[in-house]
A and B are shown apart, each in its own frame.
Chain A
């Protein structure tokens, strides 16, 4: 059964871009992010931020977290530095309250921006 609205966690959706030489698979990236969150915040902290990797297409991705814990989540994302020996870095494009907003505002925008100069 669904939780009643007042008891639901307020969420934020973080849109990020993975910067790396070769494409990173979803499985590897999710593992590395979870690893980073657990090592930085501990088990108790990780249970609190309610995070989850919602979508990832090889370049752009959306991560869910609790509204009050966006700063901790950003810190944990910033701590990701290698995946299977390959150097990567995660650039946060923005944050939104809805998935629709996140996709429209940041992912589509940056795709449009990229195609413009040509």
Chain B
């Protein structure tokens, strides 16, 4: 019926804590209406044994923060694994290295995005991440700056048909927001409700599919 009946995912969740904390977070996430989360750089070894509600899956992701010259090697090293690869955007040099390497999944909030980078990202099927958490946490001028960055990123993403995802970049369970709130916040920088809903359900599902065991390469499948 509505756009918000889909399954929603948040792929950038930072929880350094133990299984108990993850379990508490997962119950809150389920309440907010999420069907899956991905923990960034989690030290917990056995995510399968964590006590979690039915219908919520926990995935692993890796945020790579390294100097630009070594980024490419690091991505190549990690891309064969099942983890979702995330690079937080920074200066142009870093963004360029990130989008030029095939195998990266998400480039989060690049500050100086341009048409050349967007075209390259589209070629390598890299998803553009929007950090909604920055709108929630910041006030005043810094928030206006973040909104402006997101506005230009959205423009490029529309032009080059980039996949987008929305994330709250949560560090604790109080950072989480429900999908409808996320859509309302995304509306502040011009994203339509349809785009926002897709950015929380369709695109993350696509990334998760790509990282599953059965996936080999685009267009190839075992029958």
Alpha-carbon gap, A91 to B185, bound state (A): 14
Alpha-carbon gap, A39 to B147, bound state (A): 14
> How many residues from B make CB contacts under 8 Å with A?
23
Q: Are A92 and B181 in contact (CB under 8 A)?
A: yes
Q: Are B174 and A78 in contact (CB under 8 A)?
A: no
**Closest-CB distance, A75 to chain B (whole angstroms):** 4
Alpha-carbon gap, A44 to B159, bound state (A): 33
Alpha-carbon gap, A39 to B144, bound state (A): 11
A75-92 vs B, CB cutoff 8 Å, 1 = contact: the mask equals 101110100000111011
Which residue, A19, A71, A77, A92, has most C-beta atoms of chain B within 10 A?
A: A71
Contact A74:B180 (CB < 8 A) given known A81-B137, A87-B172, A87-B174:
yes
Q: Are B174 and A81 in contact (CB under 8 A)?
A: yes
Alpha-carbon gap, A77 to B178, bound state (A): 11
Residue of chain B at shortest CB distance from A39: B139
Alpha-carbon gap, A20 to B172, bound state (A): 12
Interface flag for B175 (CB, 8 Å): yes
Alpha-carbon gap, A81 to B136, bound state (A): 7
Q: Are B28 and A78 in contact (CB under 8 A)?
A: no
Alpha-carbon gap, A29 to B172, bound state (A): 20
Residue of chain B at shortest CB distance from A89: B174
Q: Are A88 and B184 in contact (CB under 8 A)?
A: no
Alpha-carbon gap, A81 to B182, bound state (A): 14
Alpha-carbon gap, A78 to B166, bound state (A): 15
Partner of A89, one of B140, B176, B184, B185: B176
Q: Are B177 and A78 in contact (CB under 8 A)?
A: yes
Chain B interface SS verdict (over half):
helix
Residue pairs across A and B with CB atoms within 8 Å: the count is 47
Q: Which of B134-184 contact A (CB under 8 A)?
A: 135-137, 139-140, 172-178, 180-184
Contacts of B215 in A (CB 8 A): none
Which residue, A79, A89, A92, has most C-beta atoms of chain B within 10 A?
A: A89
Q: Are A92 and B28 in contact (CB under 8 A)?
A: no
Residue of chain B at shortest CB distance from A79: B136
Q: Are A72 and B174 in contact (CB under 8 A)?
A: no
Alpha-carbon gap, A43 to B173, bound state (A): 31
Q: Are B135 and A79 in contact (CB under 8 A)?
A: yes
Residue of chain B at shortest CB distance from A74: B184
Contacts of A74 in B (CB 8 A): 180-181, 184
The 8 A-B residue pairs with the shortest CB-CB distance in the complex, in nearest-first order: A74-B184, A78-B181, A87-B174, A75-B184, A89-B174, A71-B184, A75-B185, A78-B177
- A selection of 30 A-B contacts at a CB cut-off of 8 Å is A19-B28, A19-B174, A39-B139, A40-B188, A71-B183, A71-B184, A71-B187, A72-B184, A74-B180, A74-B181, A74-B184, A75-B184, A75-B185, A75-B187, A77-B181, A78-B177, A78-B181, A78-B184, A79-B185, A81-B136, A81-B137, A81-B174, A81-B175, A88-B174, A89-B174, A89-B177, A91-B32, A91-B178, A92-B178, A92-B181
* A-B contacts besides A71-B187, A75-B185, A78-B182, 14 pairs, CB < 8 Å: A20-B174, A72-B184, A74-B181, A75-B181, A75-B187, A77-B181, A78-B185, A79-B135, A87-B174, A88-B174, A89-B175, A91-B31, A92-B178, A92-B180
